[in-house]
A and B are shown apart, each in its own frame.
Chain A
Amino acid sequence: MYVTREGRNDMVGEKKWYLKALAIVVLIFGILYAGFPILWMFLNSFKPNAQIFAWPPVWISESFTLNAYVEIFKDPEKVRYFINSYFIAFVVVVLTIIVSILAAYSFSRFDYPGKKIVNTLIVSVQAVPPIVLLIPYLSLIVTFKLHNTYGALILTYMLLTLSYAIIMLTGYFNTLPKELDEAVMIDGGSRFRALWQILVPLATPGLLAVGMYTFMLSWNEYLFALALTKTNDVRTVPVGISLLMGQHAYEWNQMMAMSVLGSLPILVLFLFFQRYFVAGMTSGAVKH
Chain B
Amino acid sequence: MLKLKAFHKTSFAVLLIALLLTLTACGNNNSSPSNTSGSSGSQSDTGSSGNSGGSDITLEFQQWWGVELPDGALQEIVDGFTAQTGIKIKLLSNPYADTRTQIAAGAAAGTMADVVGLDGSWVYDFAKQGAIANLTALMEADGYDDSQLSDQIRVDGNTFMIPVVNFAYPMYVNLDLVNEAGVSIPTNWTEFVNVTKTIKEKTGKAGWAIPLSTESPSGIQNNFMSWLWASGGSMLKDGKPNLAGNDDLIATLEFVKQLFDNGVVAQGAYAMKEADMVEEFTNGRVAFMTDSLAHLTTIKSEAPDLNIDFIPIPVKDGYTGKSGMDVANWGIGIAENSKYKAEAMKFIEYMMSPEVNAKLAVLANAFPGNIHAQPDYPADNTLFLKAYEIYQAGYAINEFTGLPTSEELMRQFDEQLQLYLDGDTKTAAEMLEKTQEIWVKAFK
Binds A, one of B25-33, B176-184, B309-317, B414-422: B25-33
Is A142 in contact with B21, judged by CB distance below 8 angstroms? no
**B 30-47 to A, binary, CB cutoff 8 A, 1 in contact else 0:** 111010000000000000
Please tell me if B385 contacts chain A, counting CB pairs below 8 Å: no
Please tell me if A35 contacts chain B, counting CB pairs below 8 Å: no
Please tell me if A226 contacts chain B, counting CB pairs below 8 Å: yes
Is A91 in contact with B25, judged by CB distance below 8 angstroms? yes
Given A201-B4, A233-B30, A50 and B22 contact (CB-CB distance below 8 Å): no
Q: How far is the CB of B18 from chain A (nearest CB, A)?
A: 4
Residue of B nearest to A147 (CB): B111
How many of chain B's residues have a CB under 8 angstroms from any CB in A? 54
Please tell me if A4 contacts chain B, counting CB pairs below 8 Å: no
Given A53-B282, A138-B111, A196 and B26 contact (CB-CB distance below 8 Å): no
Please tell me if B144 contacts chain A, counting CB pairs below 8 Å: no
Q: How far is the CB of A181 from chain B (nearest CB, A)?
A: 14
Q: From residue 105 to 156 of chain A, which have CB atoms closer than 8 A to chain B?
A: 134-135, 138-139, 141-142, 146-151, 154
Q: From residue 165 to 184 of chain B, which have CB atoms closer than 8 A to chain A?
A: 167
Given A142-B111, A196-B8, A248-B68, A148 and B96 contact (CB-CB distance below 8 Å): no
> Roughly how many angstroms separate A28 CA and B331 CA in the complex, as a whole number?
53
Q: From residue 59 to 97 of chain B, which have CB atoms closer than 8 A to chain A?
A: 60, 64, 67-68, 90, 92-97
Is B30 in contact with A134, judged by CB distance below 8 angstroms? no
Given A98-B15, A243-B67, A138 and B109 contact (CB-CB distance below 8 Å): yes
Q: How far is the CB of A242 from chain B (nearest CB, A)?
A: 4
Residue of A nearest to B117 (CB): A247
Please tell me if B275 contacts chain A, counting CB pairs below 8 Å: yes
Please tell me if B319 contacts chain A, counting CB pairs below 8 Å: no
Is A248 in contact with B294, judged by CB distance below 8 angstroms? yes
Please tell me if A258 contacts chain B, counting CB pairs below 8 Å: no
Is A196 in contact with B11, judged by CB distance below 8 angstroms? yes
Please tell me if A283 contacts chain B, counting CB pairs below 8 Å: no
Contact of A242 among B95, B167, B282 (CB under 8 A): B95
How many of chain A's residues have a CB under 8 angstroms from any CB in B? 48
Please tell me if A232 contacts chain B, counting CB pairs below 8 Å: yes
**B 1-20 to A, binary, CB cutoff 8 A, 1 in contact else 0:** 00111011001001100100
Please tell me if A239 contacts chain B, counting CB pairs below 8 Å: yes
Is B11 in contact with A226, judged by CB distance below 8 angstroms? no
Please tell me if B285 contacts chain A, counting CB pairs below 8 Å: yes
Please tell me if A200 contacts chain B, counting CB pairs below 8 Å: yes
Q: How far is the CB of B202 from chain A (nearest CB, A)?
A: 18
Please tell me if B108 contacts chain A, counting CB pairs below 8 Å: yes
Is A50 in contact with B15, judged by CB distance below 8 angstroms? no
Please tell me if B141 contacts chain A, counting CB pairs below 8 Å: no
Please tell me if A234 contacts chain B, counting CB pairs below 8 Å: yes
Is A247 in contact with B96, judged by CB distance below 8 angstroms? yes
Is A226 in contact with B94, judged by CB distance below 8 angstroms? yes
Report B-chain residues with C-beta under 8 Å of the C-beta of A231: 30, 32, 90, 92
Q: How far is the CB of B47 from chain A (nearest CB, A)?
A: 26
> Roughly how many angstroms separate A207 CA and B105 CA in the complex, as a whole number?
36
Contact of B298 among A53, A91, A150, A248 (CB under 8 A): A248
Please tell me if A250 contacts chain B, counting CB pairs below 8 Å: yes
Please name 18 further chain A to chain B contacts, defined as beta carbons within 8 Å, in addition to the given A139-B110, A226-B95, sorted by A numbering.
A50-B279, A50-B303, A98-B11, A139-B108, A142-B111, A148-B30, A151-B25, A197-B4, A197-B8, A227-B102, A230-B111, A242-B95, A243-B67, A246-B64, A246-B96, A247-B68, A248-B68, A249-B68
What are 29 inter-chain pairs, A to B, with CB distance below 8 A?
A53-B280, A53-B283, A87-B21, A91-B25, A94-B15, A95-B22, A98-B11, A98-B18, A135-B108, A141-B109, A142-B111, A148-B30, A149-B29, A150-B22, A151-B25, A196-B7, A197-B5, A201-B4, A226-B98, A226-B102, A227-B105, A230-B60, A231-B92, A245-B95, A245-B96, A245-B97, A247-B64, A248-B167, A248-B295
Name A residues whose Cβ lies closer than 8 Å to a Cβ of B. Answer: 1, 48-50, 52-55, 87, 91, 94-95, 98, 134-135, 138-139, 141-142, 146-151, 154, 196-198, 200-201, 226-227, 230-234, 239, 242-250
Which 3 interchain pairs have the tightest Cβ spacing?
A: A50-B302, A151-B26, A150-B25
